[in-house]
């Protein structure tokens, strides 16, 4: 039960990240957590332990074989989502789940129901860790941290399992998109790594969205509404016109799988100026670039209709599809798939409809696909994780280490 005890201990530390902080880590709780983890790793006897001022914690399990084996890594993030509080998390275990609704808080009538979360029915017979309905759980990604450390402890306890040098890394601020920004890939020193940050059992991801953020600024002209004919230009109406120019079925609520989208995330305006914030996502780089071109064309159309410089757009690329980096070395995926099968898991290769630290790390020179950590309903009070799923994730790590040493 070391795995479970670790996880229950970890989730009680408040490590929510904060988007507007402007420092790394963005919250003091994250540094508190990595310092506690450093103490734990020191007690385990790991080597090459480093913790920098930004909250990046690295450590090494030395090889126990004399053969030449690639150095691999396992990575997880210490922060939890700002979407819902992670303070005073009060987890409990539902043993041998029977397939019915789970009351999280009787007092406040908060129910984890099979109607709203049909995924629950996949876990009948498992032992589930749930919240008390008032916080998130933190399986994203403290389940990954617990699995990595428990796998290292398992390898230490089973020296008969040959493995090469293994590096582990825990980083802050993944949930606000900054987890890989100050990650020292050279210091980490791996041939490749895996983030343990996926969802349900079997998930293996090496494709993610190409991503950009766009900010459209629309200038208007305000005059007294009683005398506005032919004079007023209402920037909010033009903003509405711009939104209608976007493909109406290419939004998050209408797309799935490999389908990309435009997503309006912010709208702020008055007659004289309105700003529209949106994100652009697509797995295909060609289609992604065409999406950005469409925005430029929309702006040109508005300016030709309402006058030059009425509308401007600022587009910032955020991250790219790591498939470009992973495909030339698909053995990294093959090893993970075989490890899952040996751990009793059926691999489910799927694209990430989002981003991951692994995507940014891949383009920084550390190929880094993503493996399941077992959690469900991330970023919500209905988050839960199966203990059996966590055990399978832990054993997948062990099996990867074993397979790499044999290859």
pLDDT tens digits, residue range 269-314?
Answer: 999 999 999 999 999 999 999 999 999 999 999 999 999 999 999 9
Q: If pLDDT is split at 50, 70 and 90, which confidence band does 174 have?
A: very high
pLDDT at 1 over 80: no
> Coil, strand, or helix at residue 4?
helix
The DSSP symbol for 344 reads T
402 is catalytic: no
Contact 338, 403 (CB under 8 A): yes
Q: Which CATH superfamily is domain 2-207+322-406 in?
A: Zn peptidases (3.40.630.10)
Distance CA 164, CA 155 (A): 11
SS3 207: coil
Q: Are 283 and 351 in contact (CB under 8 A)?
A: yes
pLDDT at 407 over 90: no
Residue 174 annotated as catalytic = yes
Contact 375, 137 (CB under 8 A): yes
Q: Where are the domains of the chain?
A: 2-207+322-406, 210-319
- The residue from 126, 173, 174, 203 that is catalytic is 174
Where does the pLDDT of residue 177 fall: very low under 50, low under 70, confident under 90, or very high at 90 and above?
A: confident
pLDDT for the residue numbered 372: 96
Other C-beta atoms lying within 10 Å of the C-beta of residue 55 = 26
What token pair was written down for 329?
Answer: 């070395």
8 Å CB contact between 6 and 149:
yes
CATH of 210-319, one of 3.40.190.10, 3.30.70.360, 3.30.300.30, 3.40.190.180: 3.30.70.360
pTM above 0.75, yes or no: yes
Whether the domain at 2-207+322-406 and the domain at 210-319 fall into the same CATH topology:
no
14, 79, 173, 203: which is the annotated catalytic residue?
A: 79
pLDDT tens sequence across 125-147: 999 999 999 999 999 999 999 99
pLDDT at 113 exceeding the cut of 70: yes
């Amino acid at each position: 039960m070391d795995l479970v005890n670790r996880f229950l201990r970890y989730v009680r530390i408040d490590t929510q990240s904060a988007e507007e902080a402007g420092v790394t880590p963005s919250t003091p709780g994250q540094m508190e957590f990595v310092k506690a983890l450093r103490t734990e790793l020191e007690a385990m006897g790991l080597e090459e332990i480093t913790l920098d001022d930004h909250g990046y914690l690295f450590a090494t399990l030395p090889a126990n074989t004399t053969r030449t084996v690639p150095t691999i890594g396992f990575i997880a993030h210490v922060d939890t989502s700002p979407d819902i509080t992670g303070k005073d998390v009060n987890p409990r275990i539902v043993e041998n789940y029977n397939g019915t609704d789970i009351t999280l808080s009787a007092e406040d009538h908060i129910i984890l129901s099979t109607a709203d979360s049909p995924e629950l029915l996949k876990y009948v017979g498992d032992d589930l860790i749930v919240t008390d309905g008032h916080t998130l759980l933190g399986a994203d990604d403290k389940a990954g941290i617990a699995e990595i450390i428990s796998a290292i402890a398992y390898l230490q306890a089973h020296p008969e399992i040959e493995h090469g040098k293994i590096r582990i890394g825990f980083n802050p601020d993944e949930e606000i998109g900054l987890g890989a920004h100050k990650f020292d890939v050279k210091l980490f020193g791996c041939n490749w790594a895996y983030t343990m940050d996926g969802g349900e059992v079997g998930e293996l991801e090496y494709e993610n969205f190409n991503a950009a953020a766009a900010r459209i600024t629309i200038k208007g002209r305000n005059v007294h509404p009683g005398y506005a004919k032919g004079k007023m230009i209402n920037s909010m109406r033009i903003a509405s016109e711009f939104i209608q120019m976007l493909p109406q079925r290419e939004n998050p609520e209408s797309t799935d799988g490999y389908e990309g989208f435009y997503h309006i995330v912010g709208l702020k305006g008055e007659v004289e100026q309105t700003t529209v914030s949106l994100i652009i996502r697509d797995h295909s780089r060609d289609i992604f670039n065409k999406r950005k071109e469409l925005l430029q064309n929309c702006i040109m159309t508005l300016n030709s209709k309402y006058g030059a410089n009425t509308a401007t757009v600022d587009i910032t690329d955020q991250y790219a599809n790591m498939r470009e980096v992973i495909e030339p070395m698909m053995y990294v995926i093959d090893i993970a798939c075989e490890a899952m099968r040996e751990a009793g898991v059926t691999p489910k290769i799927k694209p990430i409809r989002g981003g991951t630290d692994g995507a940014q790390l891949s383009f920084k020179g550390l190929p880094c696909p993503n493996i399941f950590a077992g959690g469900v309903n991330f970023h919500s009070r209905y988050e839960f994780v199966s203990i059996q799923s966590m055990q399978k994730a832990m054993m997948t790590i062990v099996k990867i280490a074993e397979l790499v040493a044999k290859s």
